[in-house]
Amino acid sequence: MGLEIKIPKFKFPKFKFKEIDNVEDINLEKEKEKTAKIKKDKKQYEGTHFSTIKEAFNNSMQKYANNVLLLEKEDHKTPYKEITYKKFGEDVINFGTGLTKFLNLKDERIVIISETTYGWYLSYMTLLCGAGIAVPLDKELPVNEIENLIKRSRASAVIYSAKKKEQIDKVKDNVPMVKYFIEMNSYNKVKGRDVGLNYVLLEGKKIVESGDESFKNIEIDPEEFKVLFFTSGTTSQSKGVMLCNRNLAENINACSAYVDLKETDRLFSVLPLHHSYESSIGFLYPFGMGASIAICEGLKYILPNLKEASPTAILTVPVLVENIHKNINKSIEKSGKSAVVNSMIHVTNALKTVGIDMKRKVFKEILDNLGGKLRLLVSAAAPIDPKVGKWVQDIGITFLQGYGLTETAPISALTPDYDARVGSAGKAVVCSELKIKDPNEKGEGEVLIKSKTLMLGYYEDEEATKAVIDEDGWFNSGDVGYMDKDGFLYITGRSKNVIVTQNGKNIYPEEIEMLLKKNTEIKECMVYGKSQENSKELIITARVIPNLIEIEEKYGKDSISDEKVYDIIWKIIKEVNKDLTSYKAIKKLEIKKDDFEMTTTLKIKRYKELQKQ
C-alpha cells in the first residue's frame, strides 16, 4: 500500500503589507551596504572531507557539543524541547554499547520503524557509528510488507516506536530470526524478546562507566555495507539498496561545497526519515555542520510549527511548496493586494540587479507566516513548476533544487546557493559526474551518473545491479534530461514513464502534468498512454482528481455534480492543449474519486495505477 498523504489546506491570514506602504521611508544607500556585506562570490566553498559518518560524529561532538541538535515536541500543547549535541553523543555511545555488549547485536541487521522522533535519529546514528547494519522501513507499510522486509533483510532486531507496537506484535510470531524487539521511550527490562530502548541505553551506560570503550573504538570501514534502504518505487516493486559509510559521508561533503550552511542554521524536518533524502540531507548534513533540526509534528501542524521553531531552511518536495505558494497567493488575492505585491516584486527585482536587496524587508509579512527566518528552501524528488521556484526567490528566499535517487544515497546534483538557477535540478556535486546517454536533437537523453555516493549494489540481486551499472561504473538513472553549457541539469521525465507514439515521438507525462497542476481545480493528476483495441496508437489520457472545494468556491454549489466537474476539467484540458504540440495533446479524461497511491516523497506509484486500467 502506498503512503496516502492528505495535504492540508494551509490557511494564511489576510495580508496587510504595511511594509510595502512604508517602502518610501527605506534608506536605499544603507540597504546597498547591507547587501554588499552578504553578497556571495560565485565560487565553491571549501566544504568538508569526511570519509565516514563516525568521523563526522566525532568532529561534531568535539566542535558543537553545546549547540542544540534537535527540537522535539512531546505533544502539541507543550513548547519545543531542545536536545544538545553533547546529550545526543552520550546517548549514541551508551546505546551503541548497550546494543553491542549487553544485547550482543554487533554487526547484525537492525530494522528501524517509527515516525520522526528522537529515537529514530539516535538509532540510525548509533548503527552508522559501528553498532550494526541499519534497515530503515517506511512506517506506513502494511503488516504483511513489514513482515516481508524483516525477513528479506534477515534482521536480528527491530527498533520501533510505541505507535507501531500493534503492528509489530502482529508480526512477532512469524519472524523467529529476530532476537530482540526494542521499543523506543521504554524502560522495560528484557522479557523474552522484548526490551525497552531506554533500558538498553542505561545498561550500556553502566558498561561505559565501568571503563569499557569498545563501542567508541570501533573502526569503521568506509566501504563496508552498513545501510539497507528499500526503494518506494514509482515504476516497480521495491528493491533493496546497499549503501556504505562513504556513500553517506560524501553527501555531507557534497552539500557543504555548494551550500553555506552554518551552525546557526535550523532545518525543519517535514519528510519521513526512512527516505534517504531526509535522513542524509535533512539529518546527516546539518549534523556534520553543527546546525539544529526542528521536528514537524505532522503536515497539519506545519504552519504553527514553522512559527514556533523559526527555521532557516526547509527540505521539501514540490507538492508542498506548490500548495504553500497557492494558498499564500489566494490570501493575497482575498486581501486585494495582488497588484501591489506583483508591482513590488518587479521593483525589488530591479533593485536587486543594482545591488540593493530589499525583498526580506518588503515581504516581511509573508516570511513571518513561515517563521520569519527562512532563507533556504530546497525542493527535490520530482520536477517543480519553475514559476513556483521563481516566486520563492521573488519573496526573498533562496530556492535550491537537488537531484538524486536512493541508489545515489541520494545526492548527485544540486544548485549551489551562490548560483541558484530556478528550473534546473542542479549541477554535478563535487564527488560525482553526469552525462547524457544518446542525446536526441534537443540534447535530451537518459541521465547517467558516476559518483562516490553510488550504492554498492542491489541487495541479493546481482542481475538488477548489472542492468543499471555498466562496466565503467556509470549508473543508468532512468531519468531523462539535458545539460546546459554550464553543466546544469534539467530533468524532463522518467524513461520508464515515456509514451512513445507510432511516429516514434517521445512524450514525457511529467511535462503535461505540470501544466495541468497549475490549475487550482486540479488536486492531482497522472498522464499516460492508454492502449485501445485494434490499434497500436496510444490515447494520451489524463487521470484527474478534482479539487471539489476549489470548484465549489469558484463555480458555486451546483458545480460539483459528476457531469459539471467533468465539463470544468475538460475545459481546462482544452486550454492546456493549446500550449502543447498536437501529438502531445490530451485526448481523453478520466475523473478519479479516490486518492492515488503515493510514495513517501509524494510521487504517484504509476505502475500500481496502470494496473487499474
pLDDT score of 603 more than 90: no
Domain assignment present for 32: no
Question: Minimum mean pLDDT among 25-34, 156-165, 382-391: which range?
Answer: 25-34
Domain assignment present for 221: yes
Enter the C-alpha cell of residue 196. 525497552
Q: What is the pTM of this model?
A: 0.86
Q: Could you say which of 204, 220, 243 is where a domain stops?
A: 243
| pLDDT at site 1 | 24
| pLDDT at site 290 | 98
Q: Could you say which of 243, 271, 291 is where a domain stops?
A: 243
Confidence of residue 216 (pLDDT cuts 50, 70, 90): very high
pLDDT score of 190 more than 60: yes
Domain assignment present for 45: no
pLDDT score of 392 more than 60: yes
Contacts of 7 (CB under 8 A, 6+ apart): 299, 319, 320, 323
Domain that holds residue 520: 499-610
Domain assignment present for 91: yes
Domain assignment present for 351: no
Condensed to tens digits (0 to 9), the pLDDT of residues 103-133 reads 999 999 999 999 999 999 999 999 999 999 9
> What CATH number is attached to the domain comprising 595?
3.30.300.30
Confidence of residue 495 (pLDDT cuts 50, 70, 90): confident
State which amino acid sits at residue 172.
Answer: K
Average pLDDT, the chain: 92
Is residue 433 within 8 Å of 498, Cβ to Cβ?
no
Domain assignment present for 408: no
Domain assignment present for 518: yes
Question: Could you give the CA distance from residue 47 to residue 102 in angstroms, rounded to a whole number?
Answer: 38
Q: What average pLDDT does this structure show over 42-59?
A: 96
Q: Could you say which of 243, 272, 291 is where a domain stops?
A: 243
Query: 3-state SS of the chain: helix, strand, coil percent to 5?
Result: 40, 25, 40
Enter the C-alpha cell of residue 476. 543508468
The 8-class DSSP code of residue 89 comes to H
Pairing of strands 588-591, 488-494: unpaired
Distances (CA, A) of 184 to 89, 146, 164, 204, 397: 17, 18, 10, 15, 37
Report how many domains make up the chain: 2
Per-residue DSSP letters for 220-286?
A: P-TTSEEEEEEP--SSSS--EEEEEHHHHHHHHHHHHHH----TT-EEEE-S-TTSHIIIIIIIIHH
Enter the C-alpha cell of residue 273. 526519515
Question: What percent of the chain stands above pLDDT 90?
Answer: 76
Question: Could you give the CA distance from residue 333 to residue 323 in angstroms, rounded to a whole number?
Answer: 15
Condensed to tens digits (0 to 9), the pLDDT of residues 259-308 reads 999 999 999 999 999 999 999 999 999 999 999 999 999 988 999 999 99
Domain assignment present for 464: no
> What CATH number is attached to the domain comprising 220?
3.40.50.12780
Pairing of strands 68-72, 108-113: unpaired
